Structure 1
Amino acid sequence: MIKKIDLEKFLTPGGDYLSGRPEGEGARKNENLDEFDLKEDNSIELLISDKIIGVNISFFLGLLSISLKPFQTREEILKKVKLVFTGSDLEIRELVNEDFEYMIKKILDKRDINDILK
Structure 2
Amino acid sequence: MKDQTRVIAALLIGAAAGAALGLLLAPEKGEDIRDGIADYINDLVGAAKDKAQAASKDIKQYSGSVYDKAKTKLNNAVNDLNEYRDLAMDTARTKADELKEQAQSKFNEGKTRVKNGSDEVNSAIQNS
- Normalising to structure 2: TM-score of the pair? 0.26
Higher strand proportion: 1
The TM-score with structure 1 as length reference comes to 0.28
- Bigger Cα Rg: 2
Query: As a proportion of its length, which structure holds more helix?
Result: 2
Q: Which has the higher contact order (CA 8 A, sep 6+)?
A: 1
